[in-house]
C-alpha cells in the first residue's frame, strides 16, 4: 500500500516539533505507537522462539519538567483512531487485566487466536508494583512473547484461558518514584532488563502557547495528523513473518560477536546490567521490525534497519545509568549521587558548599552531608576549591559532557541521517509532510 509519509517515525517526530519534551521522548513514543498498531501479528522466527514487536517503554523525568503524560498522550491519541486496537486499563489488577484480554480476543487470518493490548499509564505507580513478584514474572513472560495461554480466574467468567496474549506498555514516572519503589535487586531483575527507560531533565524549548505556533500553519498540521493516522491504519494490516536479508544476517552475526567480546560494553557494570546485555539483541530486533513497518509493507528486515535499531538502543544506555544511579539500599551512596547530580545540573557545573547544603538540608544530617562530600572528592567526582572565603564544589573538566538535551538532539540528527539513507527507492526526505515552513526550507538546504 502506498504511504502518505515515507517514514512514519520521522513524520511523527516532525508532528511533535512544537512540544516541549525532548525529541527522544517523541521518538520512543512513536516506536511504541507503531508497535501498538502491529500487535502480535508480526514476528521474526528464530526456530526455538519468536521475537514480536511489543515494548515496555517508560518516560522518566522530574515532576513538571517535560510534560511526560501529554507527550505520551499525543501518540496514543493517534493509535486510538484505529478501531481494531484494544487498550488495557492503566490501573492494573489481575481482574482488570484478565477481563481486558478477554475483550480483546480475536481470530486473525493466518495467525490464529490473538489477544493484543496496549496500555498507556500516565503514572507508572498505577500500573506496576515492583515488589509484586508474581505480576513481574507474568509481565516478563508477556514481553518474551511466549506462546503459552494466559490463565486467570475472574468473578464474571470463572477460569479463563487466553491464547496468544500480547502486551505493549508505555508509562511515565519520576526518578523519585523509582528511588522509592524499586529495590536495588530489581535493577538486576528481568523486568528492568526488558524495559526501555528514556530519561530527560530539561525542556527542549520553552513553549507557553503551542497553539500560537500551530495557528500559523493550521492546514499543514491537520494534514500531517491525517496522514499519520491513515498510514497507521495501513501499518495495522501488516501481518506475517519478517525475514532478514543475507546482509542483515551478516550484520547481526558480526554485531553478536562484538557484543560478547570480553572487553565490550565496559561502560555497563556486568553484575547490574547483565540481564539487559543478554537481551539487547532482542531489543534491537524488536525496534528493527517497527522501523521496517514505518517505511514499507514489505516483510523484510534490511541491514540498515538493524543498524538504526542498534544506534537507538545503544544511545539510551547512558540514560539508563542516570535512571538507576540513585537506586541503592546504601544511604551514603544514595546521598552522594544526589549531590553529584545537583553539582552536574548547575549552569557551570560549580556550586558553593553552603548552597549545596541548603539543597540537601531536608534530605540528610550535616554529618551525612560532610561524609558524602568527602566521598565524592576522594573519588575525583567533584573538586573542592576556594574563592576568597567561599568553598566551591565543581566537576572536573573531563566530566563536562554535553547536556541530555544536546545528546537527544544529536541522537535524532544522526538517526535521521541513517533513516534517510535507508528510505525505499524513489522517496526522499523532501516527500515528508512538514508543519514548519521555515524548518522544511532548512532541511531542503541540508
How distant is the alpha carbon of residue 222 from its chain centre? Answer: 26
Q: Name the pLDDT band for 439 (thresholds 50, 70, 90).
A: very low
Range 412-419 average pLDDT: 82
Strands (E), 127-184: 150-154, 158-162, 165-173
Position 271 pLDDT exceeds 80 = no
**Over 80: is that where the pLDDT of 423 sits?**
no
Rounded to 10 degrees, the C-alpha dihedral 171/175/180/184 comes to: 90
Q: Could you tell me the CA-to-CA distances from 407 to 262, 266, 319 in Å, in that order?
A: 28, 20, 10
pLDDT at 437: 38
Average pLDDT over the chain reads: 85
Considering the chain, what percentage of its residues have pLDDT values greater than 90? Answer: 43
Residues 407, 398: Cα–Cα separation, whole Å: 16
pLDDT of 436 reads 46
**Percentage of residues in the chain with pLDDT exceeding 70?**
87
Cα gap 118→420, rounded to integer Å: 29
**CA dihedral sign of residues 285, 291, 293, 296:** negative
Name residues whose C-beta falls within 8 Å of residue 278's C-beta, 6 or more positions apart in sequence.
193
- 67-81 pLDDT, tens digit per residue, is 899 999 999 999 999
What per-residue confidence (pLDDT) applies to 131? 81
If you ran DSSP here, which 8-state letter would residue 87 be given? B
The pLDDT tens digits of the residues spanning 184-195 come to 667 776 888 899
Which cell is 162 given?
A: 487466553
More confident residue, 421 or 57: 57
Residues counted in the chain: 446
Torsion of CA 116, 119, 124, 130, to 10 degrees: -10
Q: Please choose, from the candidates 94, 93, 95, 117, the residue with its C-alpha nearest in 3D space to the C-alpha of residue 105.
A: 117
**What does the buried/exposed string (b/e) look like for 301-331 if buried means 16 or more CB atoms within 10 Å of the residue's CB?**
bbbbbbbbbbbbbebbbebbbbbbbbbbeee
Contacts of 379 (CB under 8 A, 6+ apart): none
Give the single-character DSSP code of 62: -
Segment 284-339, tens digit of pLDDT: 999 999 999 999 999 999 999 999 999 999 998 877 877 776 566 677 777 888 88
Residue 444 pLDDT exceeds 50: no
Mean pLDDT within 26-45: 96
- C-alpha cell of residue 303: 541491514
Bridge partners (DSSP) of residue 117 are 167
Taking only the tens place, the pLDDT of each residue in 79-132 is: 999 999 999 987 767 778 888 888 899 988 878 888 999 999 999 988 888 888
| Mean pLDDT confidence for 216-244 | 93
Estimate the crossing angle of helix 366-378 against helix 353-360, to 10 degrees.
130
Distance CA 57, CA 53 (A): 12
Unique residue bearing C-alpha cell 516532525: 14
Residue 6's pLDDT is 93
CA atoms within 13 A on the CB side of 18: 18
Mean pLDDT of 221-234: 95
So what's the pLDDT on residue 229? 97
DSSP assignment letter at 403:
P
**pTM for the structure as a whole:** 0.83
Where do the H-state alpha helices sit in 260-302? 270-293
- The C-alpha cell 549545596 sits at 356
Q: Beta partners for 168? A: 118
Per-residue pLDDT at 262: 77
Amino acid at each position: 500500500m502506498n504511504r502518505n509519509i515515507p517514514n512514519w517515525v520521522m513524520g511523527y517526530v516532525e508532528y511533535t516539533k512544537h512540544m516541549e519534551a525532548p525529541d527522544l521522548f517523541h521518538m520512543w513514543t512513536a516506536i511504541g505507537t507503531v508497535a501498538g498498531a502491529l500487535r502480535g501479528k508480526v514476528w521474526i522466527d528464530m526456530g526455538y522462539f519468536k521475537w514480536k514487536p511489543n515494548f515496555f517503554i517508560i518516560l522518566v523525568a522530574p515532576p513538571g519538567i517535560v510534560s511526560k503524560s501529554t507527550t505520551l498522550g499525543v501518540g496514543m491519541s493517534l493509535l486510538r483512531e484505529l478501531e481494531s486496537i484494544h487498550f488495557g486499563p492503566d490501573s492494573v489488577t489481575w481482574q482488570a487485566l484478565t477481563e481486558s484480554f478477554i475483550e480483546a480476543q480475536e481470530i486473525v487470518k493466518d495467525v490464529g487466536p490473538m489477544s493484543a493490548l496496549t496500555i498507556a499509564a500516565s503514572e507508572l505507580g498505577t500500573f506496576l508494583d515492583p515488589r509484586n513478584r508474581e505480576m513481574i514474572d507474568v509481565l516478563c513472560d508477556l514481553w518474551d512473547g511466549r506462546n503459552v495461554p494466559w490463565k486467570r480466574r475472574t468473578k464474571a467468567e470463572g477460569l479463563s484461558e487466553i491464547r496468544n496474549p500480547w502486551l505493549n506498555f508505555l508509562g511515565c514516572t519520576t526518578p523519585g518514584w523509582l528511588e522509592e519503589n524499586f529495590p536495588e535487586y530489581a535493577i538486576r531483575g528481568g523486568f528492568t532488563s526488558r524495559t526501555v527507560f528514556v530519561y530527560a531533565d530539561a525542556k527542549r524549548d520553552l513553549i507557553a502557547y503551542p497553539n500560537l505556533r500551530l495557528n500559523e500553519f493550521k492546514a499543514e498540521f491537520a494534514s500531517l495528523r491525517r496522514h499519520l493516522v491513515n498510514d497507521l491504519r495501513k501499518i495495522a494490516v501488516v501481518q506475517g513473518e519478517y525475514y532478514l536479508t543475507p546482509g542483515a544476517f551478516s550484520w547481526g552475526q558480526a554485531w553478536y560477536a562484538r557484543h560478547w567480546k570480553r572487553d565490550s560494553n565496559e561502560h555497563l557494570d556486568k553484575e547490574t546490567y547483565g540481564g539487559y546485555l543478554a537481551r539487547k539483541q532482542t531489543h534491537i530486533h524488536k525496534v528493527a521490525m517497527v522501523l521496517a513497518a514505518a517505511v514499507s509493507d514489505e516483510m523484510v528486515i534490511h541491514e540498515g534497519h538493524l543498524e538504526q535499531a542498534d544506534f537507538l538502543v545503544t544511545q539510551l544506555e547512558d540514560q539508563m545509568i542516570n535512571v538507576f544511579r540513585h537506586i541503592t539500599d546504601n544511604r551514603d551512596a544514595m546521598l552522594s549521587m544526589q549531590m553529584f547530580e545537583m553539582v552536574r545540573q548547575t549552569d557551570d557545573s560549580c556550586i558553593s558548599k553552603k548552597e549545596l547544603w541548603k539543597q540537601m538540608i531536608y534530605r540528610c544530617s550535616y554529618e551525612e552531608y560532610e561524609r558524602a562530600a568527602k566521598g565524592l572528592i576522594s573519588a575525583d567526582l567533584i573538586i573542592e576549591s576556594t574563592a576568597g572565603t567561599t568553598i566551591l564544589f565543581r566537576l572536573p573538566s573531563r566530566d563536562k559532557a554535553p547536556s541530555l538535551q544536546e545528546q537527544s538532539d544529536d541522537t535524532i540528527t544522526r538517526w535521521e541521517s541513517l533513516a534517510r539513507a535507508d528510505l525505499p527507492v524513489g522517496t526522499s526526505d523532501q516527500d515528508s509532510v512538514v508543519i514548519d515552513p521555515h524548518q522544511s526550507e532548512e532541511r531542503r538546504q541540508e
